[in-house]
Structure 1
Amino acid sequence: MSFGGVVLENIVDKVFLVTGGAAGIGAGVVRELLLENARYVAFLDIAEREGLILESELYTKFGALKAKFIKCDISNESEFADAYKQVFNKYRRIDVVINNAVVLSADDSDYKRIVDVNLTATISSTLKALDYMGIDKGGIGGTVVNVSSLLALTPKPHLPVYASTKIAVLQFSNSIGAELFYSKSKVRVLTVCFGPTDTAILQKPSISNFDKHFTQSLASRAPVRQRVKSAAYGMLQVINNGVSGSTWMIANDKSPVDISENISGGFNVMSCGIENN
């Protein structure tokens, strides 16, 4: 298979683990990976109904032994560790981990759940992936993609806890993806910042009560939303081409844009003069 005429060498015949893969962008990514001849895709989610429906769809379309749904609360460390073991024990390798799971809520009283899923589980998963894939740990190298958000780059007061977790994911991923770590592990760590995407989480019926502190709904703040297919395509392009420590924007139904220099420049501005004080 080819992607726009380009063979995706970092997709074909690779073993993937995707969190938050039962619906939305995650499900879109799972479908596209199999279309591009991934060897095996395990997708984790707490949404059992959606996960089993997708697994049945993939079985019909791609046959047995190509995709597996694993019900897992990634904020539960033991469940998450067991899911990793299950995937590794099946194929004796994991090539790519996509940390896509997210909790989006304007209810700050739910801050612990937001932090546990969006940030803590992302860190935990990245470290697990390094343990399984790192050449310094006996692995063969690989790739980790951590999902941030454009909200991490355009501060707004609407979703303070969510946005905070996403800027933390960005900083963590850029740091652990730096050459210092990559040279030892040969595991690329990439960051993707999605723009508003047409998933169920941005549909008005699903959020009619959840953003009650603001005069406009979250959906109205994102009137232009890219298609899930565009987001999924973009993810595959980043996996195929991204350099470890890089950050990519996927928005507005356009091809991914490497914004690593923007991120670096922003941090340089913020740190200007600090080392001299």
Structure 2
Amino acid sequence: MANSLFDKKIVLITGGAQGIGLGMAQAFAQAGARVVITDKDEEAGRQALNRLEKQNLQVHFIRCDVSQERDVKELMRQVGDKFVVLDALINNAGIADPFVGPLQELDMAVFDQVLAVNLRGPLLCAKYALPLLKKAEHPAILNISSTRAFMSEPNTFPYSASKGGLEALTHSLAVSLAAEKIRVNAIAPGWIEVGEWEKESKSYVPRHSKEDKEQHPVGRVGKPEDVAEAALFLCSEKAGFITGQSLTIDGGMTIKMIYV
């Protein structure tokens, strides 16, 4: 049954064909939204569309590489032509593999590409979505960051830098777009298991050890649904007094002291 908070609302989710993005796409569509998902991977996009349409959900797919300005401009043109307005932009697209090897071996082209997708992409999407967001009654932007913005494993320079930048971009956009009545927030997921939310050639049945689960005070690894529930709240009118904030969703993993 449609949730009145999102009934007929237009929600755009970048990187929405797999993983957390697909989980959010399903949740918003189930809540009554008309969802547009974008992804660079057309195969994943087609499979996501098929998966959601089998549930009789209203979803559209548009291919887009968010690191390319011309792609983002065309994406927003198509969304505008079809829907006129945009109620929520969720910047989820990202290069998710954080490990790049030792600093002395770092390929700067890899660094540049990660920042182009993970940080420049959200800025481009916000820029070109702005005219559509301004037409909405209660517009919102949600950036999907990472707990790696605040803590690191060795040799994760591009990913950590991009997500740290996205956290800063979130509060910068929140202040800059306040006059337009556009709220901007972020979610920083921790370990979210996406095995069953990947395209067919990459999907797998997740198996987690006792140690994996016990790293989290809640006793389990996260699921895309955990992020989706928070996204529904932050993009809704119920969160109307929240902007410029980042919500960590990690089962408590980042608050747990570990001595080795």
Q: Report the TM-score range of the alignment, normalised by the length of the smaller protein.
A: 0.7 to 0.9
- Distance in 2, Cα, partners of 1:80 & 1:161: 22
Q: Which residue of 2 aligns with 1:187?
A: 182
Contact 1:150 1:249 in 2 (8 A): yes
Aligned partner letter, 1:126: A
Cα distance, 1:132 vs. partner? Answer: 2.5
1:219-230 matched pairs, under 5 angstroms: 223-224=212-213, 225-230=221-226
Deviation at 1:48, TM superposition (A): 1.2
- 2:9 is matched by which residue type in structure 1? K
Instruction: Tell me what 2:31 maps to.
Output: 36
State the Cα deviation string for residues 180-222 of structure 1 (Å, max 9, x = none): 631x111111111111100249x9xx8xxxxxxxxxxxx99x9
CA-to-aligned-CA distance 1:55-101 (integer Å, 9 cap, x gap): 122223226xx211111111111111111111111011111000001
2:229 to 228, 233, 250: 233
The reply on whether 1:71 has 2:63 as its aligned counterpart is yes
What's the TM-score, normalizing by structure 1? 0.74
| Aligned residues of 2:174 and 2:243 also touching (Cα < 8 A) | yes
Contact 2:86 2:132 in 1 (8 A): yes
Q: Which residue of 2 aligns with 1:121?
A: 121
1:147 & 1:192 partners in 2: Cα distance?
Answer: 5
Contact 2:91 2:144 in 1 (8 A): yes
Measured at CA, do residues 251 and 238 of structure 1 come closer, stay the same or move farther in structure 2, by a change above 3 Å?
Answer: farther
Structural mapping, 1:149-164, within 5 Å:
149-164=146-161
Conserved 8 A contact 2:17-2:39: yes
Distance 2:81 2:224 in 1: 31
C-alpha displacement at 1:253, in angstroms?
9.0
Q: Which has the higher contact order (CA 8 A, sep 6+)?
A: 2
Between the aligned partners of 2:141 and 2:149, the Cα distance in structure 1 is 19
Aligned-pair CA distance for 1:251: 2.0
The answer to whether the 8 Å contact 1:227/1:253 transfers is no
What residue is the counterpart of 2:167 in the other structure?
170
Structure 1: which 5+ runs fail to align? Answer: 207-218, 255-277
Question: Equivalents in 2 of 1:167, 1:140: separation in Å?
Answer: 30
Percent identity over paired residues: 24
Q: What's 2:245 paired with?
A: 246
Unaligned runs of 5+ in 2: 101-105, 203-207, 214-220, 254-260
2:235 is paired with a residue whose SS is: helix
Instruction: Say whether 1:112 aligns with 2:112.
Output: yes
User: Aligned-pair distance for 1:238?
Assistant: 2.3
SS at match of 2:177: helix
Cα separation, partners in 2 of 1:253 and 1:96, compared to 1, 3 Å? farther
Contact 2:35 / 2:59 at 8 angstroms: preserved in 1? yes
> Aligned pair count?
226
Q: Which amino acid aligns with 2:227?
A: A
Output the amino acid matched with 1:130: L
1:130, 1:187 within 8 Å by CA — same for their partners in 2? no
Partner of 2:140: 143
Q: What is the rounded CA distance, in whole Å, between the counterparts of 2:143 and 2:85 in structure 1?
A: 19
Q: Does 1:50 align with 2:44?
A: yes
TM-score scaled to structure 2, two decimals?
Answer: 0.78
Q: Please say if residues 130 and 185 of structure 1, whose CA atoms lie closer than 8 Å, have aligned partners that are also in contact.
A: no
1:234-275: CA deviation from partner (whole Å, max 9, x where unpaired): 221222243121211122299xxxxxxxxxxxxxxxxxxxxx
